[in-house]
A and B are shown apart, each in its own frame.
Chain A
Amino acid sequence: MSVLKVSGLTKNFGGLSAVSNVNMEIEQGELIGLIGPNGAGKTTLFNLLTGVYDPSEGTIELNVDGKMTSIGGKKPYVISRLGVSRTFQNIRLFKELTVLDNVRIAMHQSVKTGVIASILRLPCYYKEEEEIKKRAMDLLKTVNLDEHAMDLAKNLPYGKQRRLEIARALATDPKILFLDEPAAGMNPQETAELTQLIHDIKDRFHLTIILIEHDMSLVMSICERIYVLDYGRLIARGNPEQIKTNKRVIEAYLGEDA
């Protein structure tokens, strides 16, 4: 059963078609790679799928309780509440806040205590705050950041900031997770740990994961299926073996190098 279906998706910025006529269909539980040269439109595609941009053309359908529901042009917070979460290429943590608060904020959609009950600090407020804190600490443990709970996000080293972004994205309780270059700026050991983490969370939280990555060894080793974008168009799709030997993909990458 597919969880996400994209048809004819296009985004124009003035004269530039950053994404043009993209079709994708993604099944529950897949781990998908999205690759392509710089400026190919990968991040723009994520921004369309998560509601940051409105599509110029085309449809995006998400499986919501067994029904394919159109989400194209919906606001990001609405899409997030339907079970879509993400990380950002240029890390967008709440830098001045603690690691714990970054995660707690992302749990907001499950908060039931109302404004007045919070102001009056009724028993339900204390109870829910305790639960939120416990769940947040569990998530931080998952990404191995529980010791940093009270540190400011901006004081974490780069690799840990990327892991915190993953924890924050998981805190929204997603079904689909978009990771935009999760290994960027990581050393080989950190990348190896990240690969393991992605596997772990996928199983543990029953996720469908779509990741953008320039680190080809990472992509080829963990992705079951890969989509390749070039100048906004999908030029290839298939398993890692097919992609490695695909002529158009090789041209796109070599053309960039030349």
Chain B
Amino acid sequence: MKNWFKRTNLLWLALIVSTYVILNVLISTGIINNVYQTVLLTIGINIILAISLNLIIGITGQFSLGHAGFMIIGAYSCGVVLKLVAGGTIGVLLGMLIGMAISAAVALVVAIPTLRLRGDYLAIATLGFGEIIRIVVLNMEVTNGAAGLILPKAVSWHMVYWAMVICTLVIVNFGISAHGRACISVREDEIAAEAMGINTTQYKILAFVIGAMIASVAGALYAGAFYVIKPEMFTYSKSIDILVLVVFGGMGSITGSFISTVLVSLLNTALQQFSSVRMIVYGLALVVIMVFRPSGLLGRKEFSFDALLKKFDKKKGAAS
């Protein structure tokens, strides 16, 4: 237990809680108004999507363009439960669990044949898979086809915040464990990884399944937060939006995904009033970043209190 309460872990806890408190104060005093609360929800959900894709692409090195497919599974699982079984938080949590279970099963079925493919082939296969899921949803009775589902509001930003925190902890803790190192070795050099006793196929599948389950959590939150879900919201262009967040922040950097998601969401909001030029400016911003920082804002670096403390201690040592 004492390991849990190391200095850096306590600092992280302080950061998580204080961010929560500050946001709460800003909302209750009306500084963050309704419009910005929606932005906050979007940021939280998109962070979950970005980091879960980052686990697959950045950490394990498997290119996937089907992430919206797992989001749609979560969204509709939650939507159907909210409509037919139970409302409120209970309904969302139940829908989330069902969504995660279905996503895990589907991811397993998709992963086993496709993860043998490499690079471009894998991208195309996962792209096709995402579209298949969407078409299935489009043609099902219980999902109400193209018209989609109109849902009661069942997800508050508190829930999104804590879900985001939990998902991040899951991915970060996985990433720094021996299992995460195995995933990273797959990204770095598959042949060497296999020669060192790592079952690379197993780790590709594991990362894919965990990423899929977490993406479906984001989908469930989306369904409960935004009143309406329709299949057309989850096309491959949604997958690409998520991919952009990952690439922009730095493939393999969870901190980068956070920063890029916040920046892109704020940029999008700021440009909302200029809808005609919005996509152009947005596109240009991305091009500029990719030209000047081809490996994304942070590359593979992560923010760490450990490193920060070391710097701080050094300064103190030098001063005295």
Contacts and interface: CB of A to CB of B under 8 A. Distances in A.
B3 interface: yes
B4 interface: yes
A108 B177 contact: no
Given A94-B185, A104-B181, A123-B3, A115 B195 contact: no
- Top 9 nearest A-B pairs (CB, nearest first) are A118-B177, A80-B197, A76-B194, A94-B188, A109-B197, A106-B196, A92-B192, A126-B3, A111-B178
A227 interface: no
Given A52-B191, A94-B189, A118 B178 contact: yes
B179 A115 contact: yes
Contacts, number: 104
Contact of A92 (B180, B184, B191): B191
A97 B3 CA distance: 25
Contacts of B197: 77, 80-81, 106, 108-109, 172
Given A77-B194, A109-B197, A168-B196, 16 more contacts: A75-B194, A80-B197, A92-B189, A92-B195, A94-B184, A94-B185, A97-B185, A105-B198, A108-B178, A109-B198, A111-B178, A115-B179, A118-B173, A118-B180, A169-B196, A171-B196
Contacts of B200: 77
B178 A97 contact: no
Interface in B180-233: 180-182, 184-185, 188-189, 191-200, 206
B300 interface: yes
Interface of B: 1, 3-4, 169-170, 173-174, 177-182, 184-185, 188-189, 191-200, 206, 300
A80 B195 contact: yes
Contact of B170 (A97, A119, A125, A126): A119
B43 to A, nearest CB: 24
Contact of A105 (B174, B185, B206): B185
Given A123-B1, A123-B3, A126-B3, A76 B195 contact: yes
Interface in A12-63: 50-52
Interface in A94-125: 94-97, 101, 104-109, 111, 113, 115, 118-121, 123, 125
Contacts of B189: 92-95
A86 B178 contact: no
20 contacts: A51-B194, A52-B195, A77-B197, A92-B189, A92-B195, A96-B188, A97-B188, A101-B181, A105-B181, A105-B182, A105-B193, A106-B197, A108-B178, A118-B178, A118-B180, A119-B170, A123-B3, A125-B177, A129-B178, A172-B197
B198 A77 contact: yes
A169 B192 CA distance: 10
Contacts of A108: 178, 181-182, 185, 196-198
Contacts of A95: 188-189
A168 B198 CA distance: 13
A169 B3 CA distance: 31
Interface of A: 50-52, 75-77, 80-81, 85-86, 88, 92-97, 101, 104-109, 111, 113, 115, 118-121, 123, 125-126, 128-129, 132, 168-169, 171-172
Contact of B195 (A86, A111, A119, A126): A86
Contacts of B182: 105, 108
Contacts of B173: 118-121
Contact of A104 (B3, B174, B178): B178
A86 to B, nearest CB: 6
Most buried by A among B169, B180, B196, B206: B196
A121 B3 contact: yes
B194 A119 contact: no
Contacts of B180: 118
Contacts of A120: 173
A154 to B, nearest CB: 11
A23 to B, nearest CB: 24
A84 B35 CA distance: 61
